[in-house]
Every structure is written in C-alpha cells, then in structure tokens.
Amino acid sequence: MDLQELSRLLRQSLADWSVAPGEKTALPAWIERHVRDERTRALAQHAAFEAARTAIAEPAAGRVVEWLESVMQALASSGSSPVAGASGSHEIEHDSACFSPGESCLNRVIHRFDECRRAAELCVFTITDDRISRAILDAHRRGVKLRILSDHAKSGDLGSDMREFIQAGIAVKLADVFTRTGPRHEGHMHHKFAIFDGERLINGSYNWTRGAANVNFENLVDTANPDLVSVFAEEFTRLWNRF
C-alpha cells in the first residue's frame, strides 16, 4: 500500500484547510487502487489522523476538524467509486461487514442515522461515543422517531449519554434485569443492534464507545435482509414491552 502517495494527497489537501472537489475524487481513487480490506483502510485513516495532529499546531487549527471529517467520509467509502446523493453523502446500500479498530464501524453507524428518515429502534448495551450520540440527536431533531433500549447498570457510567437522550425527549427504556419479577436473570441487556426505517439492520459485537473504535477488535454487519430485519424487530418489540 502506497502510504507516501496518500500522505502527499493529505498534505496537499491540508494546504488550504479543505477537501476540494478534485481531492474528493482523488481520495476514493487512491482507495480503489490500494484498499483491499478493513486493515488497510484503518491504516489509511490512521495516516489522516496523523496529518491532522501535525496540522493542529498551525494558527488555523480550528479548521482541521472540518477537514478531517471530510477526509473520513471519503476514506469510509466502499472500494468502488462513490455515488454522491443529493446531500453529497455516499450511498451504502449493499450488505456488508465492518471491523475495528479503525473508523469503519463508527462511520457505518453514523451513516445509518444520517440516512434514516422515519424511525429507528436501538437496542444497545451502552452509548458513550459522542460522535454517535450527535448523529442520534441530529436524527431526533430531523423528526426521526427514536426508541432506545439500553442497560440500566451501564446508564450511570461516566460518559453515558442516556440522560442527554432523555432530556432531549427521546423515548428511552433502561432494562434493569436484576429487579424484574419472575425468575431472577443474572445478566445485562447486552445487545448491540439497531433497525432503521424498518428496512435495515446493523448488528455485531461493536460497542457504541470510543474504545470499540480505537482499541478493540469488534465487528458490525449492515444488512437489508428482510428475514433478519424482521426477527430483530420482533426481538426489539418483545424487549421493549417487557421493560
């Protein structure tokens, strides 16, 4: 993988603190030639973060974050040429899998919230990654009907965003499996899945935390398989009604 060429493209892009239209084409073209798996994609994303860290010392450092967000969108695209929708985002409609460490799982979760138009049901152990939380709150402000089911014990952890979701008016239920009536169930609500517009499912070991993106070996599957979407929707409804 030619990281020197990528570094040159990144330095050239950082020169004016923005990702120009030609650079938005050049970055996916580089991906097409060099990225063959999630490991190589993660190396490319790491190179972008290193370029950003170097640039932070510059007087115009405040614009680095905007630049980095644009680069991440390009590097999170599929191996084929991107298709830009009306909003400029890349369509990701095929069934696929993502892996961490790296930003691919994170970007896929955010993409699904960005694309969601009507409703989303989240059944997630914990949410502490503010980048995902911002995408959730943005969807809520757009009028997307959200329901979040999470683990009661984790909701009080440092960094948990459940209180912010509740204050924003999002429907949240915290599953306290230790205090339910009936047989005692010694465990947690440990799912990590979400359903979008009743049509797409993301599911896997990937926790919605920065540690999952930066450190852990995790996986995330994104699918429109109607059979899978249906059975996970049924499980969400069952758990939502229980708690």
Q: Which residues are catalytic?
A: 190, 192, 197
Strands 119-124 and 145-151: parallel
Please state, in angstroms and rounded to a whole number, the distance separating the CA atoms of residues 218 and 64.
28
Cis ω for the linkage preceding 101 (within 30 of 0): yes
d(CA 165, CA 137): 7
Cβ neighbours of 140 (radius 10 Å): 18
CB atoms within 10 A of CB 210: 16
Six-digit token pair at 158? 């440092």
d(CA 162, CA 152): 10
